[in-house]
Amino acid sequence: MTTKVTVDVFQEINSEHQKLERQYAAFDAFLGGELVRVPVLRMRFSELAVILKCHFDHEEQGGYFEEIVEMAPRLSRLAQTLETEHDELLARLEYLDDQLSTTADVDEGFARLRKELEEFVAACRTHEHRETALMQEAWFTEIGTGD
């Protein structure tokens, strides 16, 4: 049987995933614009970084993965993989932030950096979608068992 904590945690994480998707879409739209300048890009990326770091911290400290494993132990390996991806995505985030601090608008590396930022956002989206699928798998399997 699902607990109130599980329902609350899942609803909160789902809400965060929806907010993140809106952030990703806004960042993508900005990044695809014609007049992207590094100082503004740095600011927008920093805003996204803060939101993403808080989200990952919330999932890790808030019991999201533990709730899933408690509900569906067979998903523990995937839950661990997704939690480990947080560190990998954060390392990429730090790398990109460093690159932004040393790149100029006219720098030949700017086009490459824009592409790397697009790929980073795509990787974050994929990660969040996989977390949502994990949550749904645990949730619907639990409900389907009649426990």
- Which positions ≥6 away from 147 have C-beta within 8 Å? 1
DSSP 53-64: HHHHHHHHHTTH
Q: What are phi and psi of 104, to 5 degrees?
A: -105, 160
Domain extent listing, the chain: 4-145
Between 92 and 14, where is the model more confident?
92
In degrees, rounded to 5, the angle at the alpha carbon of residue 25 between the alpha carbons of residues 21 and 26 is 120
CATH number of 4-145: 1.20.120
pLDDT of 68-83, one tens digit each? 888 889 999 999 999 9
Interatomic CA distance for residues 143 and 77, integer angstroms: 21
pLDDT of 18-51, one tens digit each? 999 999 999 999 998 888 888 899 999 999 999 9
Question: What pLDDT, on the 0 to 100 scale, is given for residue 3?
Answer: 52
CA end-to-end span of the chain, whole Å? 5
H helices of the chain, in order, are 4-31, 38-61, 64-71, 76-101, 110-145
